[in-house]
Chains A and B, each alone.
Chain A
Amino acid sequence: MSESDVDSLSDIDTDAKSEAERHPSILLVDDDLNLALDVANSLTKRGYLVSHAATAPDGLTQARRGAFDILILDRMLAGEDGLTVLKILRQEAMGKPVIILSALSGVEDRVRGLNAGGDDYLVKPFATDELVARVEALLRRTDSHRATLLQLGPLKLDLIDRRVWRGDREIELLPREFKLLEYFMHRPGQIVTRKMLLEDVWQYRFVPETRLVDVHVSKLRRKIEAADEPPMLLSIRSAGFMLNAPT
């Protein structure tokens, strides 16, 4: 195990996040109780408040009360279409982020889900860590996309001239490495899963070898972490990666 590896999600210090924010609350609408329990456990462990609804009408009532930061919505709710619930909520100007869970993996299904107002679409079955990572990504979505200069600790990214520095040292990156680093810089301190990288950076939905992502990340890591510099880009076992300011 290399120095930058972190063994699991639960090892990661969540203080930085919870200090700045109140405990975010999550509304989970899913009729699969086993899955709901699993997800609720993982999210509670990470400091979230989770409320649960098992049916579409119950979900709609709870959602209208508005006491949540993120809605996790199963697409198929005991014979009812979760997308209908989502459409109603969006018509009522509910602007909070929504993650759709679905057993339907087709491209069209995904597009339909996102068109109905979903911010993310996760195909069942999934690893709970993957869902947790997506929840965090949505909660911490910032306006950094409009910035032209990104900075995290000593790391500086000039998005106009496409140049990168760590402290005074300028780092030469290939275009694809720059794109990858930019993605991490927009999500400081967040878990970024392999799936997220494949989908967002390379626009892949299916790749025969997920080790590909590791190869790209480790190449990038070698460039931004010189031998004497403290690690910034961590591998989080079973979940993905995280870019942090060095402590």
Chain B
Amino acid sequence: MSRAAATRLGEAWARSERMVGRRIGDEYVLVPLAGRGADLDSILNLNRVAAFVWEQLDGERSGGEVVEALLERFDVERARAEQDYLELIDTLVEVDAVAPVKRRG
């Protein structure tokens, strides 16, 4: 793992209050409230793993801790879990769905 990736795994992220996650039937969707009414075009569909990660983003747990939880819950290799986690965080940052809280070294 690169140093940059390791640093990023030390960060904690919090779900934005302007983004609501809901499990509806077989799917899990993120709906941006955007403060001015929701927008049908910008909802995100999360798979099971992504939905699990989303629910862990409480502003307390670091990326490393979330990855540990992923490893406990799903049958996946650490490297793959870390990569998936970081990619998901990038996607969520792009749509302002999460915000960094603090660094834990």
Q: Are these two chains actual partners, yes or no?
A: no
Please give the residue numbers on chain A whose beta carbons come within 8 Å of chain B beta carbons, in ascending order: none
B residues within 8 Å of A by Cβ?
none
